[in-house]
Amino acid sequence: MVTLADYGEYETAWCPGCGNFAILNAVKQALVKADLAPQQVLFVSGIGQAAKLPHYLNANVFNGLHGRSLPVATGAKLANPGLVVIAESGDGCNYGEGGNHFLAALRRNIDITLLVHDNRVYGLTKGQASPTSPEGFVTKAQPLGNPSIPFNPIAVATVMKAGFVARGFAGDVEHLSDLIVQAISHRGFSLVDILQPCVSFNKVNTFSWFKERCRKLDANHDPTDIHAALEVAMAEEDEIPIGVIYQNDRPPFEDKLGLTANGPVKTGETERREAFEKILSAYY
Amino acid sequence: MVTLADYGEYETAWCPGCGNFAILNAVKQALVKADLAPQQVLFVSGIGQAAKLPHYLNANVFNGLHGRSLPVATGAKLANPGLVVIAESGDGCNYGEGGNHFLAALRRNIDITLLVHDNRVYGLTKGQASPTSPEGFVTKAQPLGNPSIPFNPIAVATVMKAGFVARGFAGDVEHLSDLIVQAISHRGFSLVDILQPCVSFNKVNTFSWFKERCRKLDANHDPTDIHAALEVAMAEEDEIPIGVIYQNDRPPFEDKLGLTANGPVKTGETERREAFEKILSAYY
Amino acid sequence: MTSINLCICGEAGQGLVTIGQLLAKCLVRAGYHIVVTQSYQSRIRGGHNAFFIRVGASPITAPVGPIDLLVPLNEESIEIHRGEMAADGWIFRDADYGMDGDRNLPVPYASFGGGIYVNIAAFAVTGCLLGLDTSLMEGMVREAFGKKGDAASEKNLSVLARTVEWAKNLDIDFKGLPAPASPSRRMMVNGNEAIALGAVAAGVRCGFFYPMTPATSIILTLIKHAREAGIVMEQAEDEIAAVNMAIGASFCGARSMVATSGGGYALMTEGVSLAAMTETPLVIAIAQRPGPATGLPTRTEQGDLEFVLHGGHGEFPRAVFAPGDVTACFALTVKAFDVAEASQGPVFILTDQFLADSYRAVEPFTWPEATGNPAERDREISPEDYQRYALTDDGVSPRAFPGQSGALVVADSDEHTEAGHITEDLRLRPRMVRKRLRKMARIREAVVPPVFSGDASPELLFVCWGSTMGAVEEAVETLRREGRRAAMLHFSQVWPLRPGDFMDTLESAEKVVAVEGNATSQFARLIRRETGFAITRHVNRYDGLPITPGFILDGIARMGKGV
Amino acid sequence: MTSINLCICGEAGQGLVTIGQLLAKCLVRAGYHIVVTQSYQSRIRGGHNAFFIRVGASPITAPVGPIDLLVPLNEESIEIHRGEMAADGWIFRDADYGMDGDRNLPVPYASFGGGIYVNIAAFAVTGCLLGLDTSLMEGMVREAFGKKGDAASEKNLSVLARTVEWAKNLDIDFKGLPAPASPSRRMMVNGNEAIALGAVAAGVRCGFFYPMTPATSIILTLIKHAREAGIVMEQAEDEIAAVNMAIGASFCGARSMVATSGGGYALMTEGVSLAAMTETPLVIAIAQRPGPATGLPTRTEQGDLEFVLHGGHGEFPRAVFAPGDVTACFALTVKAFDVAEASQGPVFILTDQFLADSYRAVEPFTWPEATGNPAERDREISPEDYQRYALTDDGVSPRAFPGQSGALVVADSDEHTEAGHITEDLRLRPRMVRKRLRKMARIREAVVPPVFSGDASPELLFVCWGSTMGAVEEAVETLRREGRRAAMLHFSQVWPLRPGDFMDTLESAEKVVAVEGNATSQFARLIRRETGFAITRHVNRYDGLPITPGFILDGIARMGKGV
Ligand SMILES: Cc1ncc(C[n+]2csc(CCOP(=O)(O)OP(=O)(O)O)c2C)c(N)n1
Ligand SMILES: Cc1ncc(C[n+]2csc(CCOP(=O)(O)OP(=O)(O)O)c2C)c(N)n1
Ligand code: SF4
Ligand code: SF4
Ligand SMILES: [Mg+2]
Ligand SMILES: [Mg+2]
């Protein structure tokens, strides 16, 4: 039995009161609920406040470049499909710098879980607008207010028929950790967009702002009904539904490639040599 | 009065029978219908077969890097908002290499028109799967069939509330040129995804395949109704609706920045010098 | 004492940068010289940050190591910096911290106001003991907090007054500074601000960026003034977009720039090549930080020189400026825009976190009369047969802008004809290659030669570039005071090099030492490549901190007798 | 005649590559040597493409200019190549084309089958006149068209038979080639295929790519064999994704590679820096094409050397291989994987379009016994206190893989502790910098020294690198036949350089000429940087075409009497 202690306790570099602490708890709880040992799990992150999370628990970790957690996670999963691969980063990382990888991940449906700490701001670089910042959001870099409208990751993932699409809230750890457990156990690409208060730079979408709006999805919401899901995804922000919004059973990418849990890292030298000799025969 | 002759006739490097010829005609016709002189128009393209189009008409042209037509177009428009800026490139350029710029353009809603020659394949590099290639599409690079599902640009643009979202077909030049006229005249970001047969590399989505499926949208389709638009955008491919699918009147980006048609390129030296001196005063 | 090295430090989020800035500005207004060094971590709260102000009555140019006056905003700070204290250094610390030993002054912060007013009190104590006029400090507090409504301003002023009262009566042997020479009116600007102001002076019209430490404040400064100066600034979705936007804007006639650090620049290199091929002026400011990859995002290094010299595929001209101080940041940014326009291609301003964040007192920046639009050829354009890439003797073709004349402008990233259209003509190709490379002559003509200072026939010559100038200068002064014939050769333009500008100097020195903020002596390698001259002695720093005069002197000492 | 230079040409889409490949393979099977040069445009149909086969009974290594036998598939081709014909060259052309003059053979293609069978007929006529056995050609046609159902195969065979019948009775003074030496069994492989096969031999497990000419066929070859060899290949959404995927896979223990050209590499440079910082092995194959920007996408150049040497921010070790021929493409790819693994970082294979597409007859590739997993340190891992970045004497830390041992593996793009965690410890930083740089020793040990050939004490020494080897070799031979003391020094590893390997050679030569497929003599500059040795004579080609022996000889001639 895996316990919380297996995942350790570390000092962090986050601001006191940051929503990231709750997300870290939810992640650890989810891993324990899913009975996954640290050795089985690989966290891949980008750069940002969110992306520091994997340093604060015991697991395999690849903390890469800003915006690039998904491709690293994809390569890792393809090399060793036996690993549970979790990509973890901020809204800027995934929907800004890494937006193209997000789109491709939706199409690929590889069996990794993406946890986006969506604080609607660039935290680590001190508070510029992020792709999910509200229109008009005022920052030092956007003194006239953010001129763009926010990215809607849930809606985009849903219309792209991503395998598993959920929204969580850092203010409800129990619920969030359940979502993460489901996301991990879903075979295919799973997105959990996590509403996260940033006490230092987002004075609009604060803890209480989120708290007032977040509503758990109705028990009779059917996540396999894409129309219902889209309805939820496109809802205005006076009520923000949290929970599993959309889900399907598209075969994961690995199946289409015929990969087993072993994956390419496990082929022996003899097999490789035989294949090589056979391959050469076409060149004579 | 602008005439077709103003836009010239050039030799192309396209394959005989390619859908690009029809798109070129439609573009020229649209410019004539819109009564735009070549000097007023700037075409920005990336790299690919589609991206060669601007070389085949008279206009201002910036033929840049693969995947990067939208940012160049955005910079150009911001520098000189008086120009009519048209970004023109392939599906690979816009939804593959340039996917992140596509997402950002939807949020920004800058007044440029994006014409995507969507042949569902990488033409210039000889036939690899593109982001819009059908699942299972067999190519030399995807011998087991494309393992990803196709990108749905219309649906993504619609859920992101892009200003103007249309789909055209290279097999209906008249209709297509009308769409382009509307796209140009729309103030805000306009997407026209153009179904384009590629005779050399796409033997699945051929001219007749498209021809059989394309249906002009019903006269009573209301493009300002986002739910109706989404319905259309998510339709299965046995019938492919063409026409203006979604449209709104979000203010364009330039308005939010307070830009006039003159734009920053037109500030005089005296004004600049006065501003400079005033700015310095904060540093004493 | 000719200068005092003051360190205000504590956790991120405690407001120590604000105190530091207010104090620094007062010092500048009082006529002092300053060199600010900002030391911070990649986090928003907590950890340990420091704002160093080295202040002198006569000119100083470099950061130094030993701390003369430590103003810790938390107890931990004392532990962290204790080892760096100068022998006669003082610690001004909260009376509540348990601490004994000499030369530490317990300040009863709680009694002046406590809470958020500790900062103002710390400002007041420090200012007072440095000999600042109370009225100067009052004015500063009013400027800084006036906007917040009278109440806040008044409260701050009363804390200030109370603290000053207390401090005035102190009798400690903290040696202040002599009064500075009759103070001329100077500005307080850091390297990044100076670049932004240089861009404004050069007439920048558009700026594009994706936030990246330590370059972000170039952008934020531009944004602060954008409305007033009529500049369009846009945060791009990524660095690739930023550089391509800048190229699009520049193509349409707007002087345009991007600013980033090494990792962002990596993503821009394809765009650099595009600017070169399409012959579009582009100014790229790069504030270096230690790599590889994310490295130490808030620290300093000079590790990206070779990458900046060679980034972008294919062969094309470029210029790389490496300002030695804040004044040069301004002047060379103006120049960078001119050179970019004259050569119709990419030009770099290469600095680093130290200089980016280093405030200095500088003579007022002036409007560069000579700049504006040096593309004198624009006038020759005849719309009918306009060719964007006309083959000319000096490789520079007349530049028209879309929609601004009757000419249609066609630019292409493929190899192209004179008219700008894609071509497969392999006989034209080499002519176009040579045309582009010929523009190097324009860049070469405009090169800023290296600056020599120190002993006229040195036995010890330091070669350096970029932000290390001040430290080398002071190290040279120290050595000369010790009786050595030392000198400095500083490059504020690192590409292209004109050996004629400096070979005599290099060759006549007995010993040459390269001082660089990197581990592999990249500039020394470049010198050898371009001149054959091998520098065999090196002082390298790559721990993320700026090079100081002391670091250089230690390095020399370690080289032993021979040097 | 010691070799025949054959040119099959026409529009894109006419199938001339197929004829070329069939013919080339027959020639290889018959025991001849070949050097194929593919000339094509950035379009799918139309335009003008050519497939050159230079064929010799004894070894040949370079493409040449003059055409001995032109096989045009359209009339325009004759116009295009007429000026390149050798004095005694022949044109085998369709009898329908209006043409007069000597040395052109009208072939009644229509009478053999016409339409799509023109290709087979052209193959047959050419093969026949080159002296190929009919049965060899029959076998080839059967192999190539057998799959299409018997009918197609039979029809092709009958066209072949009819054409051969006609050709046998010709009596023209086209000089064929002597029979080759007793043919050993050799492979026909081009540079890109050889890289792919080298990767298979080295045990590549994962490959990631975004299509880009002229690198794509490396990838397509890997994909062709992926199932059989158990390799995972994935087309990424862009080059940034490709390089990061490869790093992710490699981190998990899979030997991984990417392949691209200059523009794609530009986008990968941030990832190169990431591989270096995280100490993840990564093999990057770059097939160069002329830049800047999109340039000439289907042509050849050696213009990206400096960018490959310096791409990526920050300072770190790397190795760059530049194979001189197809055999070296195979061997050096195997070596690249080993060096990447031994040094735990990025390693490059730098070729160009010419070599990428150049088929040759090569001795059979063999399984590299010595390869496999040289990371002998993996065995030392103790899961409890495993540290990914343990500070070791040689800088190489034991490498464990996630989920494959009890050890938890932590990698970080920030500066990190030995355990892999992000750190702000500035005392640790320089130790980590030095640790990474120490790995250069492992790379240096394994360097492939340059190859010297020709006169033992040359008055004229050619320095070259990469794909120009063959042309230089033949130019040297010609000069020696003319009585000159000429020699070649060819580098198939361009970084790092070990001056000890070649300085004697350089210094003892009377005159040194650098031969490079670029305009700015990048390799010569590197030599100077690393050794101080200045090469002042240069042969540069940058029109998109490969360097030939004739181009070099002309270049020498133009240098005048002194050379
Ligand atoms: C290529 C590159 N560009 C920019 C940066 C600077 N950078 C670091 S974190 C960050 C934004 C972080 O925002 P987000 O991903 O939302 O994470 P948060 O800090 O809000 O958790 C940026 C722009 C970088 N490290 N690399
Ligand atoms: C950075 C970069 N990567 C790859 C390429 C190679 N490339 C040129 S065009 C193209 C694909 C074109 O596909 P698409 O955009 O759909 O245009 P089409 O040719 O189908 O019209 C690619 C991959 C490139 N030019 N630059
Ligand atoms: S800046 Fe915001 S996101 Fe970052 S640690 Fe602080 S509160 Fe959290
Ligand atoms: S390859 Fe396809 S898209 Fe390109 S020109 Fe030919 S038919 Fe058109
Ligand atoms: Mg964020
Ligand atoms: Mg396409």
pLDDT at residue D176, rounded to an integer: 84
Looking at the structure, do residues C154 and C235 belong to the same domain, yes or no?
A: no
Phi/psi class of residue A127: alpha, beta or left (left: φ > 0; alpha: ψ in -120 to 50)?
Answer: left
Range of the domain at C248: 188-362
Taking the mean position of all CA atoms in its chain, how far away is CA D69? Answer: 25
Q: Is A209 exposed, middle or buried (0-12, 13-18, 19+ CB in 10 A)?
A: middle
pLDDT 10s digits, A226-258: 999 999 999 988 999 999 999 999 999 999 998
Would you say residue D527 lies in a domain? yes
Looking at the structure, do residues C159 and C194 belong to the same domain, yes or no?
A: no
CB contact under 8 A, B264 and C422: no
Looking at the structure, do residues C265 and C135 belong to the same domain, yes or no?
A: no
Could you tell me if D164 and D134 are in contact, meaning their C-beta atoms sit under 8 angstroms apart? yes
A97 contact residues in B (CB cutoff 8 A):
100
Three-class SS state of D385: helix
Looking at the structure, do residues C161 and C60 belong to the same domain, yes or no?
A: yes
Write down which chains contact chain A via at least 3 CB pairs under 8 A.
B, C, D
**β C319-321/C493-495 pair status:** antiparallel
- Cβ < 6 Å from ligand 4: which residues? B 14-15, 18, 20, 49, 119, 123, 198-201; D 44
Q: Is C136 exposed, middle or buried (0-12, 13-18, 19+ CB in 10 A)?
A: middle
The chain-wide mean pLDDT, for chain B, equals 96
Give kind and range of the element (H or E) at residue A250.
none
pLDDT 10s digits, D299-330: 999 999 999 999 999 999 999 999 999 999 99
Cα separation, D418 vs D406, in Å, equals 18
Could you tell me if D543 and D560 are in contact, meaning their C-beta atoms sit under 8 angstroms apart? no
Task: State which amino acid sits at residue D434.
Answer: R
**C394 φ, ψ (degrees, to nearest 5):** -100, 10
Three-class SS state of B268: coil
Round to the nearest angstrom and report the end-to-end CA distance of chain A: 57
pLDDT at residue C150, rounded to an integer: 81
In the predicted model, residues of chain D with pLDDT beneath 50 are 372, 374, 377
Looking at the structure, do residues C140 and C275 belong to the same domain, yes or no?
A: no
Cα separation, D459 vs D437, in Å, equals 39
Q: Which atom of ligand 2 is nearest to the CA of B93?
A: 15
CATH label of the domain that carries residue D535: 3.40.50.920
Cα separation, D167 vs D184, in Å, equals 28
Q: Which of A7, A63, A66, A259 to mutate to test the interface with D (most CBs of D within 10 A)?
A: A63
Domain boundary, last residue among C337, C362, C387: C362
Looking at the structure, do residues D207 and D353 belong to the same domain, yes or no?
A: yes
pLDDT at residue D295, rounded to an integer: 98
Task: Verify cis geometry, omega within 30 degrees of 0, for the bond prior to C549.
Answer: no
Q: Which atom of ligand 2 is nearest to the CA of B198?
A: 20
Q: Which of D13, D211, D238 sits opposite B125 (nearest CB)?
A: D211
Lookup: tokens for D237: 């959404």
B160 contact residues in A (CB cutoff 8 A):
149, 151-152, 155-156
Would you say residue C400 lies in a domain? no
Would you say residue D389 lies in a domain? no
Looking at the structure, do residues D12 and D149 belong to the same domain, yes or no?
A: yes
Could you tell me if D237 and D266 are in contact, meaning their C-beta atoms sit under 8 angstroms apart? no
Distances (CA, A) of C167 to C105, C127, D306: 11, 10, 61
CA contacts within 13 A on the Cβ side of C222: 31
pLDDT at residue C371, rounded to an integer: 55
Lookup: tokens for B83: 């120009």
Instruction: Establish, for the pair of chains C and D, how many residue pairs have beta carbons separated by less than 8 Å.
Output: 223
Q: B109: which residues sit within 8 A by CB, 6+ positions away?
A: A148, A149, B162, B163, B188, B189, B250, B251, B252, B253
Lookup: tokens for A180: 């993460």
pLDDT at residue C381, rounded to an integer: 84
Q: How far is D202 from chain C (nearest CA, A)?
A: 27
CB contact under 8 A, C241 and B275: no
Cα separation, C479 vs C488, in Å, equals 11
Would you say residue C271 lies in a domain? yes
What is the three-state SS of D272-335?
HHHHHHHCCCEEEEEEECCCCCCECCCCCCCCCHHHHHHCCCCCCCCEEECCCCHHHHHHHHHH
Alpha helices of C55-108 — where are they, by DSSP H? Answer: 75-82
pLDDT 10s digits, A64-77: 999 999 999 999 99
pLDDT 10s digits, C106-132: 999 999 988 889 999 999 999 999 999
Could you tell me if A200 and A127 are in contact, meaning their C-beta atoms sit under 8 angstroms apart? yes
In the predicted model, residues of chain C with pLDDT beneath 70 are 1, 148, 183, 370-379
Query: How many residues comprise chain A?
Result: 284
Task: Verify cis geometry, omega within 30 degrees of 0, for the bond prior to C496.
Answer: yes
Is any ligand 2 atom within 6 A of the Cβ of residue B122? yes
Could you tell me if C516 and C271 are in contact, meaning their C-beta atoms sit under 8 angstroms apart? no
CATH label of the domain that carries residue C18: 3.40.920.10
CB contact under 8 A, D211 and B96: no
Cα separation, D287 vs D354, in Å, equals 9
Q: How many other β-carbons are positioned within 10 Å of the β-carbon of residue D325?
A: 24
Cα separation, D60 vs D325, in Å, equals 12
Ligand 1 mean position, distance from CA A66 (Å): 6
Would you say residue C555 lies in a domain? yes
Could you tell me if B45 and B52 are in contact, meaning their C-beta atoms sit under 8 angstroms apart? yes
For a pocket test of ligand 1, which of C44, C208, C209, C210 has the largest count of ligand atoms closer than 8 A to its C-beta? Answer: C210
For a pocket test of ligand 3, which of A21, A119, A125, A204 has the largest count of ligand atoms closer than 8 A to its C-beta? Answer: A119
Three-class SS state of B1: coil
Would you say residue D409 lies in a domain? no
pLDDT at residue C182, rounded to an integer: 74
Domain count, chain C: 3
Strand-by-strand arrangement of the B60-63 sheet: B214-216, B240-247, B164-169, B190-195, B113-118, B84-90, B41-45, B60-63, C410-412
Strand-by-strand arrangement of the C486-491 sheet: C451-454, C486-491, C460-465, C511-516, C537-540
Cα separation, C181 vs C169, in Å, equals 27
Ligand 2 mean position, distance from CA B128 (Å): 10
User: Which neighbouring-strand residues pair with C453?
Assistant: C488
Q: How far is B67 from chain A (nearest CA, A)?
A: 11
The chain-wide mean pLDDT, for chain A, equals 96
Is any ligand 3 atom within 6 A of the Cβ of residue A15? yes
For a pocket test of ligand 4, which of B23, B56, B91, B199 has the largest count of ligand atoms closer than 8 A to its C-beta? Answer: B199
pLDDT at residue C377, rounded to an integer: 46
Looking at the structure, do residues C211 and C127 belong to the same domain, yes or no?
A: no
Looking at the structure, do residues C348 and C222 belong to the same domain, yes or no?
A: yes
Which residue has 């001639």 as its token pair? D557
Q: Is A160 exposed, middle or buried (0-12, 13-18, 19+ CB in 10 A)?
A: buried
Distances (CA, A) of C31 to A185, C160, C363: 67, 21, 11
CB contact under 8 A, B265 and C256: no
User: Which neighbouring-strand residues pair with C7?
Assistant: C52, C70
Looking at the structure, do residues D199 and D319 belong to the same domain, yes or no?
A: yes
Q: What is the ipTM of this complex?
A: 0.98
D265 contact residues in C (CB cutoff 8 A):
313
Q: Which ligand is nearest to the CA of B67?
A: 2
Write down which chains contact chain B via at least 3 CB pairs under 8 A.
A, C, D
CATH label of the domain that carries residue C335: 3.40.50.970
Domain boundary, last residue among C345, C362, C379: C362
**DSSP E strand boundaries for B58-158:** 60-63, 84-90, 113-118, 121-122, 128-129
Looking at the structure, do residues C86 and C230 belong to the same domain, yes or no?
A: no
Nearest by Cα to C112 from C51, C147, C157: C157
Instruction: Establish, for the pair of chains A and D, how many residue pairs have beta carbons separated by less than 8 Å.
Output: 188
Nearest-CA residue for atom 3 of ligand 1: C264
Lookup: tokens for A17: 């009161």
Distances (CA, A) of C442 to A169, C330, C343, C396, C437: 59, 21, 6, 9, 10
Q: What is the mean pLDDT of residues A44-61?
A: 98
Ligand 6 mean position, distance from CA B195 (Å): 10
B233 contact residues in A (CB cutoff 8 A):
159
Three-class SS state of C198: helix
Domains and CATH numbers, chain B: 4-281 (3.40.50.970)
Domain boundary, last residue among D310, D338, D362: D362
Whether pLDDT at B249 is above 80: yes
Nearest-CA residue for atom 2 of ligand 4: B198
Would you say residue C398 lies in a domain? no
Looking at the structure, do residues D154 and D249 belong to the same domain, yes or no?
A: no
Ligand 4 mean position, distance from CA B170 (Å): 13
Is any ligand 1 atom within 6 A of the Cβ of residue A48? yes
Query: How many residues comprise chain D?
Result: 563
pLDDT at residue C340, rounded to an integer: 98
Chain C CA closest to residue B271: C229
Q: Which ligand is nearest to the CA of C46?
A: 3
User: Which residues have a beta carbon within 5 Å of ligand 6, which is an ion?
Assistant: B 90-92, 119, 123
Would you say residue D247 lies in a domain? yes
Is any ligand 3 atom within 6 A of the Cβ of residue A89? no
Give kind and range of the element (H or E) at residue D348.
strand D346-352
